[in-house]
Structure 1
Amino acid sequence: MRRGAGILGVAVLIAAGSVIAPTAAPASAAGQSCEPGQIVFTPNKPAALTSLDAAAANQRATGRGVTVAVVDSGIDAGNPHLAGAVVGGVNLVGDGERPDGLSDPLGHGTVIAGEIAARPVAGSGVVGLAPDAALLSVRVFRSDTEDDAKKGFGPTAARIAQGIHWGVDHGARVINVSMSMRQDDPALRAAVEYAAAQHSLVVASGGNRASDPEAPDEARFPAGYPEALGVSAAADDGRVTDDSIHGPQVSVTAPGANVLSTATGAGDCQFEAVPSASWATAYVSGAAALVAQAHPDEPAAGWAYRLSATALRADADHRDDRDGWGFIQPAAAIDLLPDASIRGPQSPFVDNAGSAVRPVGAEVGSDPSPSAFLETKQAAILAALTRLA
């Protein structure tokens, strides 16, 4: 019940739009099988949940009442862990698969869905970080192979943007995008801005180096947009490795190696040892769902701030391009009292004079102006793009 390094989670550069999607097909490794058609469960609990102190976080929130859109390769809603979790979806690919998006021949989106919201199943220790959250399957690509790209079934910025819009319009408060691209795209930027204006948070991969060891550390999108929460992957020891792309798009880190989750056409499966930002992004989306349940009246920028401000880091006052603000602590993010004493990122709850303010965008449907929290990230992104120009 293990799938190997370099199989599911390989990042491939797509020339048209430069989308990087960690989307290669699964394969078994280590003499064990978690291939479609073999329902196998493990009593082991995901190690990531221990490092995230999920037990403490779930005493406070379980994601109930929060919908998370998985903008990806689809979700196999037939996995026993996902029965009742997936409440709808759409297939934007046009490849002949189910129109409701509830299929996933590739398997990438199904792994992410399980990390976020897998339900308990007898005989299995696998469960999601937000086990009561609802999921939407927003299917935006079939695979990132050259053949599918030629057919128009590969990931594109336009389709990812369409998927974000669809998720927001169908009630998602958190949008998981475990993909990244090197170029700023107007449609993708507008989609992330639209999500924020509608009180939804886009959580996105900061990028992987798997397909190109020489890939530069630079801004990636949509993680690099100021309204998004960009994610880097940590190894089992909690440290970020060079398998992730470093840059101003990185806001936080989360577990991304040896992930134990749900598999297409199967039960449980442990995935590669190489840290993947795809998997780390899913855990941050799960954490965001917990924070959203606990603080439903706060804007998406408030949820992002809570996760960033409470993250574990060596320097309380500064972020860096490798770890962002540090390793997320979901329970602490829920408990945070966001006053002027909090060190770290600029707070949307406190003005520059240290006075408490109403969070920008606190009312759903409002027309928020940029908060200091978003302006700080925007400045970092613009500086990086200037260096690359």
Structure 2
Amino acid sequence: MMRRRTGAAGLVAVGLLAAGVVVPVATPLAHAEPRACTENQVRYVAEEPGGIARLGARRAWGLSTGKGVVVAVVDSGVSATNAHFPRGSVLPGRSFVGGPATTDESSHGTAIAGIIAARDIGERSGVVGVAPDALILPVKITGGEAGDDEAQQRAANLAPGITWAVSAGADVINLSLSTAADRPDVRAAVAAAVRAGVVVVASGGNRDQAAEVKDGLRFPAANPGVIGVAATTGSDVVTEDSIHGPHVDVAAPGDDVATTFRAWGDCIFSQEGQSSSYATAYVSGAAALLRQRFPSASPADLTYRLQATASRGTRTVRDDVSGWGVVQPYEAMTATFDDSVAGPVRPGGTPRASVAPRVTTVDLTPSPDPRAGDRTTVLWLLLGVAVAVLGLGMGRMLRVPRGS
């Protein structure tokens, strides 16, 4: 287990649960075999998860696989009996709801863990995690049941879960949860994690699962030092279901995600199953790659690398839909930075002054004509000639011949 590193403002993967908000539970797709997800029936997905290619993960593995990095999954537990999690890859963790943290009744926590660190099991399956050598630390704060009482319990367990994960040596904390409520206990727990050097990553929120469906701040993604994540489709377009707001820092795949399904191999989960939850896991995996590559870097430094190198249309512009863009871990590990790099301001860098657009006033006052006098003289001469000619013509017309 890696030792805690202390840094400046931290980068942490956190998704918040609040009273009245149900923890996202992944919904199996009703595809034909082998895509269907059926309890007690082991099946595997042959194709590699699309997010692995879209994040350039295989290229990144030449530099880092997340080896030794501890990623805490604060969620519904993780089924350690899945074939993608050989002995030792999932730590014992802790449960705040009874029973071991290495069990999962809802399948959500196991799906998140698989996106982050599922091991390659050869020809049986194409599923593999973004950081395939990272260690998963399950922190079970919910049994996955629906209902207001359970939601309140989950909310009460979130802050203690974050605090325990820090004490247990987490390097990255994944919180695939969100709420519109800024709970003081969670805010304090996140702040302590950031001060301890933990990278915290949180869901930016899902419209179809939120008590408040309008765009706006979601927590703990909006808490200082936390990386807020939006979900994209297979075309790298942020899903309509993702909540938009200033808390969104980056985006990652969240649509039709192939990952681990409790004890029964693999499943493909749709965006209907909380897409930003899966996007958050992809970013946590990317953070694990960077943590191994830069063991002494502060969370703020790692966050900056992810933001500055994210794929986006305009390098200098961030928006409330996709933040700084889709994360690219290889670029984040290889880029060289200084104050001239377009995008977010690097830690310790000089904030860029916003330059007001130059406004030019156009003088529409007519300019004096330097030849106006000459033009007037000529006009009068022409007028005089015209009058003379007209007079001669009229004189001729008035002279009538005698005897006619």
Q: 5+ unaligned residues in a row in structure 1: which ranges?
A: 1-12, 355-389
Aligned length: 333
- Deviation of residue 193 (structure 1)? 0.7
3-state SS of the aligned residue for 2:72? Answer: strand
Q: Choose from 22, 25, 29 the match for 1:23.
A: 25
1:56-67 paired onto structure 2 within 5 Å: 56-67=59-70
Contact 1:158–1:188 under 8 Å retained in 2: no
1:246 counterpart letter in structure 2? H
Instruction: Report % sequence identity.
Output: 44
**Alpha-carbon separation, structure 2, partners of 1:72 and 1:338:** 35
2:301 counterpart letter in structure 1? G
Contact 1:157–1:187 under 8 Å retained in 2: no
Which residue number in structure 2 is paired with residue 176 of structure 1?
A: 174
**Alpha-carbon separation, structure 1, partners of 2:346 and 2:28:** 44
1:269-280 paired onto structure 2 within 5 Å: 269-274=267-272, 276-280=275-279
Which residue number in structure 2 is paired with residue 92 of structure 1?
A: 96
- Deviation of residue 162 (structure 1)? 1.0
Q: Choose from 77, 82, 91 the match for 2:80.
A: 77
Contact 1:180–1:221 under 8 Å retained in 2: yes
Contact 2:82–2:264 under 8 Å retained in 1: yes
Pick closer, same or farther for the CA change 1:181–1:351 going to 2, 3 Å: same
1:1-389 paired onto structure 2 within 5 Å: 17-23=19-25, 26-27=27-28, 29-32=30-33, 33-83=36-86, 84-94=88-98, 97-98=99-100, 101-122=101-122, 123-146=124-147, 149-150=148-149, 152=150, 156-211=154-209, 215-274=213-272, 276-352=275-351
- Deviation of residue 36 (structure 1)? 2.4
Which residue number in structure 2 is paired with residue 382 of structure 1?
A: none
Pick closer, same or farther for the CA change 1:135–1:352 going to 2, 3 Å: same
Q: 5+ unaligned residues in a row in structure 2: which ranges?
A: 1-15, 354-404
After TM superposition, the structure 1 stretch with the greater mean CA deviation from structure 2, 37-46 or 57-66, is 37-46
CA RMSD in angstroms comes to 2.1
3-state SS of the aligned residue for 1:55? Answer: helix
1:69-109 deviations in whole A, cap 9, x for unaligned? 00000000000001232022110123xx22xx000010000
Higher relative contact order (CA 8 A, sep 6+): 2
After TM superposition, the structure 1 stretch with the greater mean CA deviation from structure 2, 285-294 or 340-349, is 340-349
* TM-score using structure 1 length: 0.81
* TM-score using structure 2 length: 0.78
3-state SS of the aligned residue for 1:253? Answer: strand
**Alpha-carbon separation, structure 2, partners of 1:315 and 1:353:** 16
- Deviation of residue 133 (structure 1)? 0.3
Query: Which ranges of 4 or more aligned residues in structure 1 deviate by more than 2 Å?
Result: 16-21, 30-34, 152-158, 211-214, 349-354
3-state SS of the aligned residue for 2:186? Answer: helix
Contact 2:28–2:269 under 8 Å retained in 1: no
**Alpha-carbon separation, structure 2, partners of 1:228 and 1:133:** 20
1:86 counterpart letter in structure 2? V
Contact 2:179–2:210 under 8 Å retained in 1: no
2:334 counterpart letter in structure 1? D
- Deviation of residue 214 (structure 1)? 7.1
1:165 counterpart letter in structure 2? T
Structure showing greater Rg: 2
